[in-house]
Structure 1
Amino acid sequence: MSSPHQHPLSGPTADAPLIRAYRGERPDRLPVWFMRQAGRSLPEYRALRTGTRMLDACLDPELVTEITLQPVRRHGVDAAIFFSDIVVPLRLAGVGVDIVPGRGPVLEHPVRTADDVAKLRERTLTPEALSPITAAVRQLTTELGSTPLIGFAGAPFTLAAYLVEGGPSKDHLAARTMMHAQPQVWAELMDWLAEITGTFLHAQVSAGASAAQLFDSWAGTLSLADYAQYVAPYSTAALAPVRALEVADRPVPTVHFGVGTAHLLPAMHAVGVDVVGVDWRTPLDQAAQALPGVVLQGNLDPAMLAADWPALRAHAETVLAAGAAAPAHVVNLGHGVPPDTDPEMLTRLTAWLHEQ
């Protein structure tokens, strides 16, 4: 199956530095973008979000467009990341979920039983429900021109962790218990999550996103054995609808990222992605040894954004030197931009990286 001929990958973004790097080349300019670059660190974002709840903002195409564009305008980064939240597909499927300020995603009813999962499996993501997402992507790709838009979704395990726990958790005990104590229930839950995640990503890419990134924020809490048996197959299934798309006879680049996942990197690549994101704990040359021939993304320590410029620059030099071990390197943080980051530091860092 092919996406529409007018897709940006068939024209404006085909030779963008980010896309060339994602496909294994070393472009003349080192591509850079930052996870959570659109958000609380920007005063223009805070002003725009005043009086609007997070999930309401995520479903307003005009707000999504403006928020997504803000860091591209300010910092001159090489990609926009679609402004959304990992629980947006759940909300679009009719699940009772909200983002509580200072806490995070909270579910009306935790999913703990076979009956709970059976009720979830009655829900689907329809084209009508996805219309705010596709409208925002189409508007964004028009505005962005040759700057690629990266589609975004949370991975099935991270979504399952919130659903089963009922909200944020440090160790995800309830979710990890379910996968062993109720393996069939777990399989049915993850199968449903893979389906809606795949539908969500497919909608973004079909509407014009030039790449797709799957965030498995909590995968690092798992052993390799549990990840391989109970999680990886569903991440593969979630990515399959995007992998099936081709633009100009080439697949759409895909990225996989998790936190604390040094022990999982080969398994995370094996789910079927082109690029693996690495957090700040694992030097990129070590990641390259674990992932020979694989494009890497990362992995500046977000804490360094609060240091002075000489310290940040020295840290960035170390990251670039380690990233030279990979066939291509997209510079990013090893996690998201902290809310109290001085935006000027990101602008200065981007300009410096582009000079290297």
Structure 2
Amino acid sequence: MITTTHNRETISMQSLKNDLLLKALRGEKVSRPPVWMMRQAGRYLPEYQELRAKYDFFTRVQTPELAAAITIQPVDIIDTDAAILFSDILVVPQAMGLTVEMIEGRGPVLPKTIKSFEDVNALVVEEAASQLQYVYNAIKVTKQQLNNRVPLIGFAGAPWTLFCYMVEGKGSKTWDKAKTLCYTQPELAHALLQKITDVTIAYLKQQIVAGADCVQLFDSWAGVWDKQDFLTYAHPYNKQIVEAVKNDAPFTLFAKGVWHSLVEMQDTGANALGLDWANTAAFARGLTGNNITLQGNYDPAKLMQSPEKITKDVHQMINDFGVQRYIVNLGHGITPQIPVSHARAFIDAVKSWKE
């Protein structure tokens, strides 16, 4: 029986057949960079579409055997160096007491949104993480079925990104309601952000206990802020989470569109920073002093190019970032229209790279 985090990580590293990702996250020397893709367990795979036709979204998420099967699909089909758990960032607002609906063609909808201190005070906090046992069960089933082939990545949505959905009630290009709440009722905004942060810390820690080898925090909507407001409404809460969890497992912080605050994000102590495609290797390496692992940052739309062009691009991307302290990935999630053969070309390009 594994009784400590340290022992758990040591045993995991020793037993994994492919531990490139964990080595890169820890800054250890690798023969080539590891590669995986955000949203790799998803709609571009015909095998996923078959399960999607049989089961609604939250049935897939809340049934450990289905979540595990979907998680493992890209490892089997395109041979990624890691699996990332099939789940959704909005399971946290659900666990906090809000209704979340997935509507075909519209995406997530939250019928009741947060508007007042009364709404914030009504949220479940202390017991919320325990409401997500189905996620932890999915991790356990996935780890068993992976049989130590590759690491399993757990994840959560960042407080600001979850705040956006909890205030707006649906997707948005500008998140005006969420930003307005911050500007007009900052005390209310910070109260909500802190509660999301507290739940997220407990949630990620439980994912690690269940068997996640490393975790990633997704702040998909951080880029709607300028630097000052990012450092006011998003970064402090991300930092709290990183600092609370980083000693339990390697931690990747991904804040899309926040090129201006790489130094501040590096100072959280995260093992790696995710980059979107608007950044460049030279800029990111220059700001961070080549002292942290970087992950990214191929534009998912470029996966519509020919496999030959994808291979050329990926080889150049590795040359630009360097082999060490680098994880090959996309600048955001893979999109549904990408041919599986092109996704496989992206993975194969990394494995065929030579100095």
Query: Is residue 272–residue 295 contact of structure 2 (8 Å, CA) maintained in 1?
Result: yes
Q: Is the counterpart of residue 134 in structure 1 residue 131 in structure 2?
A: no
Aligned to 1:66: 69
Deviation for aligned residue 1:13: 3.4
CA–CA distance in 1 between the matches of 2:4 and 2:194? 25
Q: CA deviation at 1:122?
A: 5.7
Residue 126 of structure 1 deviates from its aligned partner by 4.6
Shift of 1:323: 0.8
1:135-214 aligned at under 5 Å gives the runs 135-144=137-146, 145-214=148-217
Query: 1:299, 1:174 → 2: CA distance?
Result: 30
Counterpart of 2:207, as a letter, is Q
* 2:55 is the counterpart of 1:52: yes
Q: Could you tell me whether the CA contact under 8 Å between 1:37 and 1:336 is conserved in 2? A: yes
Rounded Cα–Cα distance in structure 1 between residues aligned with 2:207 and 2:136:
6
Alpha-carbon spacing, 1:299–1:16, altered in 2? closer, same or farther (3 Å): same
TM-score relative to the length of structure 2: 0.93
**Alignment partner of 1:298 is 2:296:** yes
Residues 4 and 278 of structure 1, relative CA distance in 2, 3 Å threshold: closer
The superposition leaves residues 33-92 of structure 1 with CA deviations (integer Å, 9 ceiling, x where unpaired) of: 000110000000000121422122111100000000000001111000111111012223
Q: Unaligned stretches of 5+ in structure 1?
A: 246-251
Q: CA deviation at 1:305?
A: 0.7
Instruction: Map 1:273-288 to 2 at 5 A.
Output: 273-288=270-285
The residue aligned with 1:254 is: 251
Secondary structure at 2:15 match in 1:
coil
Report the alpha carbon displacement of residue 30 of structure 1 after superposing the two structures with TM: 2.2
CA contact (8 A) 2:125 2:199 kept: no
How many Å separate the matches in 1 of 2:17 and 2:293? 17
Taking a change above 3 Å as real, the CA distance of residues 126 and 215 of structure 1, as seen in their structure-2 partners, is closer
- 1:285 CA displacement: 1.9
Show CA shifts across 1:131-185 (max 9, x none): 2111111111122214100111100000001111111111111111222211111
Secondary structure at the counterpart of residue 11 of structure 1? helix
1:321 matched to 2:323: no
Structure 2 CA distance for partners of 1:119 and 1:329, relative to 1, 3 Å: same
Any conservation in 2 of the 1:55–1:88 contact (CA below 8 Å)?
A: no
**Judging changes above 3 Å, is the alpha-carbon distance between structure 1 residues 165 and 299 closer, same or farther for their aligned structure 2 residues?**
same
Closer, same or farther: CA 6–257 of 1 in aligned 2, 3 Å:
closer
- 2:230 is matched by which residue type in structure 1? Y
In structure 1, give the amino acid aligned to 2:4. S
CA RMSD of aligned residues (A): 1.9
Q: Any conservation in 2 of the 1:72–1:78 contact (CA below 8 Å)?
A: yes
- Alpha-carbon distance change, 45 to 291 in structure 1, aligned in 2, over 3 angstroms: same
Contact 1:4-1:206 within 8 A present in 2 as well: no
Moved more, 294-303 or 344-353: 344-353
Change (3 A) 1:228 1:90: same
CA shift, 1:243, in A, is 2.3
Residues 126, 226 of structure 1: alpha-carbon distance in 2 compared, 3 angstrom cutoff? closer
Does residue 1:271 correspond to 2:268, yes or no? yes
The alpha-carbon distance between structure 1 residues 76 and 63, as it changes in their structure 2 partners (threshold 3 A), is same
2 CA distance for matches of 1:267 and 1:122? 28
Cα distance, 1:314 vs. partner? 2.2
In the TM superposition, what is the alpha-carbon distance from 1:352 to its structure 2 partner? Answer: 2.5
Q: Distance in 2 between matches of 1:323 and 1:229?
A: 30
Q: Which residue of 1 aligns with 2:337?
A: 340
The aligned counterpart of 1:38 is: 41
Share of identical aligned residues, percent? Answer: 34
| Contact 1:224–1:263, Cα closer than 8 Å, also in 2 | yes
Give me the whole-angstrom Cα distance separating, in 2, the residues matched to 1:295 and 1:342: 29
Alignment of 1:115-126 (within 5 A): 115-121=118-124, 124-126=127-129
In structure 2, list runs of 5 or more residues that go unmatched: none
Looking at structure 2, the residues matched to 290 and 323 of structure 1 have their Cα atoms a distance apart, in angstroms, of: 13
